[in-house]
A and B are shown apart, each in its own frame.
Chain A
Amino acid sequence: MNWKPLPPVLLLLSSAAAADVAVIANVRNPLDGLTGKQVQDIFLGRTRSFPNDRFALPIDQSSPLRSEFYQRLTGRSLEQINAYWARILFTGQASPPLRVPDDAAVLRTIRENEGAIGYIDKSQADGSVRVLLILP
């Protein structure tokens, strides 16, 4: 049997799909960690604060990691998440999280805002942010 090497693009996608997602917050945030449900409530607009009652600012991103994040967090597809926000957005009473382009932009925003919370590829997390949850 002859094995053919996989195309580089497919290898890259496979690698991205397998990566863990880290939910991060500002390093000055006193929380040690959050549960999946707490993160879900923050990112889906159910609550605007952390469990310690501090204001929470969720930071979303436009990269392919977004789909992975919501899939692991809620078990729902990105289309379902968008439909959910479309209904809420229409009422004018709430809006989806601020969206930035990629992990680097998320890291920058988190560092600059004490109440910010976002998600990045686990491999991108460093000591400048506090990891609150790992979504395997």
Chain B
Amino acid sequence: MTMATRRRHIHHKLARSVFWGTTLLAAVISVVFWVGELKRSSDKTAVMLNQLLDTVESTAAIAAYSGNRQIGEDVLKGLLRNDIVHSAQISNGQGLELAVVRSTEVPRQDAVVRLLHSPFADGEVVGRLKVVPEARFTLQEARHSALVGALNSVILIAITALMVVGLVRALLTQPLVRVSARLHDIKAGDANRLEALARHRDDELGQLVEDINGLLETLEEKFTAEHQLRQEVQGMERQLRGIFETTSAGIFQLDGGGVLLTANPSLGRVLRWPAGIPGQDLENPLDNWLLKRSADGFFALKETV
């Protein structure tokens, strides 16, 4: 007794493969996205910081030049209102030392330092403005971008995978199932053939159906030829059997050891065997004969002949 195996569909296998493949791909893409976005976001933050410093540079220079604390504090407070700034510091080397810092625990990042030049004398450095970027902002940016990128990838891949699975099911699995069911109904040598699949006459499935029909055609021809051959053989056998059994000549067959294998009834009559010996039993002469003959009888018969 054989257990029925659970049949699995191609599109289900494909769906599983696509699922794991896309999951792995999405994970790899997410990591690559995150690393790339972290770098890009860090560069972007540096650019934004420099733009921010461009905006406040002239005012900060006035604060540094004049040693004006109020202007300096205003500049630093304004800088700290931006999410990308973690801390800011302004100094002029002549007693003005101002700093503001955000109360977040973040890993240290490279500070952006801008030298402040005198508003009135070209080239004279009157102070320094130092800004540390907010790492949390960079991380958030990178994480957000990576998440969005990964989600986009997953959605696109999932939609594509579903479309592929659906198309494979519609264009391959279902036609194959129909072909298989129809093939099961056809017996060997039968004259029935597979019907051509609509919409698949010109593709590989249409070719497969044609090939199967060709195979069925060949099979039917072989069966027919074999049937005819068998009938001819049977006719010849009957004819030869008739000759063997009705000829007046005694015919017999010995094996290599001299054992009599078979003999026709005429041999019995020629040798005057008693009634009931094999050869007269026309229904199964060979079996009866072989069962009843002994080796001694054979050699006696041989000498007699």
Contact = CB atoms under 8 A, between A and B. Distances in A.
Interface of A: 37, 40, 44-46, 73-76, 80, 84, 87-88, 91-94
6 contacts: A37-B124, A46-B66, A46-B67, A76-B119, A87-B62, A87-B71
A108 B66 CA distance: 28
B121 A88 contact: no
A43 to B, nearest CB: 10
B2 interface: no
B121 A74 contact: yes
A76 B74 CA distance: 25
Nearest to A92: B70
Contacts of B120: 40, 44, 73-76
A74 B119 CA distance: 9
Contacts, number: 38
A60 B276 CA distance: 163
A93 B121 contact: no
A93 B66 CA distance: 10
Closest 4 CB pairs of A and B: A91-B70, A74-B120, A45-B66, A93-B70
Nearest to B64: A46
B119 A84 contact: yes
B50 to A, nearest CB: 23
A89 to B, nearest CB: 10
Interface in B45-85: 59, 62, 65-71, 74
Contacts of A45: 66
A46 B120 CA distance: 11
Interface string B91-131: 00000000000000000000000000001111010000000
Given A44-B65, A92-B70, A87 B121 contact: no
Contact of B66 (A76, A92, A94): A94
Contact of A93 (B69, B122, B124): B69
Most buried by A among B67, B69, B122, B124: B67
Nearest to B126: A46
Contact of B62 (A40, A74, A88): A88
A80 B242 CA distance: 138
Interface string B153-188: 000000000000000000000000000000000000
Which residue, of A73, A80, A94, has the highest number of chain B Cβ atoms within 10 A? A94
A46 B71 contact: no
Contacts of B119: 76, 80, 84
Contact of A88 (B71, B122, B124): B71
A115 B62 CA distance: 25
Contacts of A76: 119-120
Nearest to A70: B120
B98 to A, nearest CB: 13
B70 A37 contact: no
A44 B61 CA distance: 13
Given A37-B121, A40-B120, A93 B68 contact: yes
Given A46-B66, A87-B71, 20 more contacts: A37-B124, A46-B65, A46-B67, A73-B120, A75-B122, A76-B119, A76-B120, A80-B119, A84-B119, A87-B62, A88-B62, A88-B66, A88-B68, A88-B71, A91-B68, A91-B70, A91-B71, A93-B70, A94-B66, A94-B68
